[in-house]
Chain A
């Protein structure tokens, strides 16, 4: 019987042996963070949930062959999630070339304060409009809390490249969300 103290890697081995409780623990630990990652990468909830389902199908398919010590589970999991999301972005781009991320005018309506949900939508839209690599780097490091070396491993780039992607991404976000900053600071 797996317990909460088991590592992800140990749970993977148990999952590969058909241990249902281990599968459940893995899902509980990672599904919300994966949905969050996929949502920020793909820009909508429906695609994000489909992507996460596909990620877990790959997890279950790999579990019987998983060997402890070959890879860190979290890094491997985010690599799979990133590839699934990038595949979906590429397919979507092929099928509907005009379906680019919606760029929301970040200026608040003059007659009313910007509601929290609107701010959230503006931030989400600004993230979605980032180039894919910058978006994934910001999502992995800022939102998912991965260290730079882990994000570099997931993306298959150097730590320096990750820092460059992060800096460029945040600079672009700041420019896109600049008009929201006074509202955030309570200025008129």
Chain B
């Protein structure tokens, strides 16, 4: 028995309603049976004609093509060899056994890049360190020059009260204002009592 006989009119109507008049648009497994029914039944042909009218209208919908500008934008964003990581490529396309080889290769690249990165950071740090300002450099030179003068001249400066300064160590001249570090008699007597 021909399988065309197995298709009901209801099913043929459903195919025409859903997919349109052209059997080439129908599910492949139902095309022959549908065509056979159409060839046999005038009523089915009328349904097909009505469906073809709607198809003809739908075919008059505007056809839009992509503008050259869009094609250019899309291609500009396409991946390039430079920005696709080798490790990613290996992981995505290689068979599972080779994924780990790709991962080890990636780690070697990381290890090689570390010293370079450290050197780059050092250079950046040195470069970023602010140089002495011109004003500060001039003050330093002036200070170095000041100390070439004799000490007496420095002490004679009105801002320095040399006579008020009292050396506290290594000075034994009372005339210069040094403290008398020699033990006094009372002090000796006291010590004598303590150690008696």
Q: Which residues of A does B touch, CB under 8 Å?
A: 13, 15-20, 23-24, 27, 31-32, 34-36, 39-40, 45, 48-49, 52-53, 56-57, 60, 63-67, 116-117, 119-121, 123-124, 127, 138, 141-143, 145, 147-149, 163-164, 166-167, 170-171, 173-174, 177, 180-181, 184-185
A116-B60, A148-B27 are known contacts. Are A49 and B66 too (CB-CB below 8 A)?
Answer: yes
Q: Is the CB of B17 within 8 A of A123?
A: no
Say whether B84 faces chain A, with CB atoms less than 8 Å apart. yes
From residue B163, how far is it (CB to closest CB) to chain A in Å?
85
Say whether B79 faces chain A, with CB atoms less than 8 Å apart. yes
Interface-forming stretch among B18-26, B36-44, B120-128, B152-160? Answer: B18-26
Interface-forming stretch among B2-10, B86-94, B188-196? Answer: B86-94
Q: Which residues of B lie under 8 Å from residue A177 when comparing CB positions?
A: 54, 57
From residue B14, how far is it (CB to closest CB) to chain A in Å?
7
Q: Which residues of B lie under 8 Å from residue A163 when comparing CB positions?
A: 14, 18
Please, what's the 1-or-0 string for B26-39, where 1 marks a CB less than 8 Å from any CB in chain A?
01100000000000
Q: Is the CB of B27 within 8 A of A147?
A: yes
Contact of B79 among A15, A67, A166, A170 (CB under 8 A): A15
Rounded to whole angstroms, the CA-CA distance of A52 and B70 in the bound complex is 8
Say whether B118 faces chain A, with CB atoms less than 8 Å apart. no
Q: Is the CB of B14 within 8 A of A123?
A: no
Please, what's the 1-or-0 string for B70-83, where 1 marks a CB less than 8 Å from any CB in chain A?
11011101111111
Q: Is the CB of B70 within 8 A of A49?
A: yes
Please name 12 further chain A to chain B contacts, defined as beta carbons within 8 Å, in addition to the given A53-B70, A173-B58, sorted by A numbering: A24-B75, A27-B74, A31-B66, A49-B67, A64-B92, A120-B62, A149-B27, A166-B19, A167-B14, A167-B17, A184-B56, A185-B53
Show 29 residue pairs from A and B whose CB-CB distance is below 8 angstroms, ordered by the A residue.
A15-B79, A16-B89, A17-B84, A17-B93, A18-B81, A18-B84, A20-B78, A27-B75, A35-B70, A36-B65, A39-B62, A49-B66, A53-B77, A57-B77, A64-B79, A64-B92, A65-B92, A116-B60, A121-B62, A123-B57, A123-B61, A142-B25, A143-B58, A164-B18, A174-B54, A177-B54, A181-B53, A181-B57, A184-B57
Q: Is the CB of A171 within 8 A of B84?
A: no
Say which size band chain B's interface belongs to: 35 or more
Rounded to whole angstroms, the CA-CA distance of A147 and B79 in the bound complex is 31
Say whether B64 faces chain A, with CB atoms less than 8 Å apart. yes
Q: Is the CB of B84 within 8 A of A23?
A: no
The list of the 8 closest CB pairs from A to B, nearest first, reads A18-B81, A23-B78, A166-B18, A18-B84, A167-B17, A123-B61, A120-B62, A31-B66
Q: Which residues of A lie under 8 Å from residue B58 when comparing CB positions?
A: 123, 138, 142-143, 173
From A185, which residue of chain B is reached at the shortest CB distance?
B53
Please, what's the 1-or-0 string for B146-175, where 1 marks a CB less than 8 Å from any CB in chain A?
000000000000000000000000000000
From residue B102, how far is it (CB to closest CB) to chain A in Å?
13
Q: Which residues of A lie under 8 Å from residue B28 when comparing CB positions?
A: 147
Q: Which residues of A lie under 8 Å from residue B66 when comparing CB positions?
A: 31-32, 34-35, 49, 52
Contact of B61 among A34, A49, A124 (CB under 8 A): A124
From residue A44, how far is it (CB to closest CB) to chain B in Å?
10
From B81, which residue of chain A is reached at the shortest CB distance?
A18
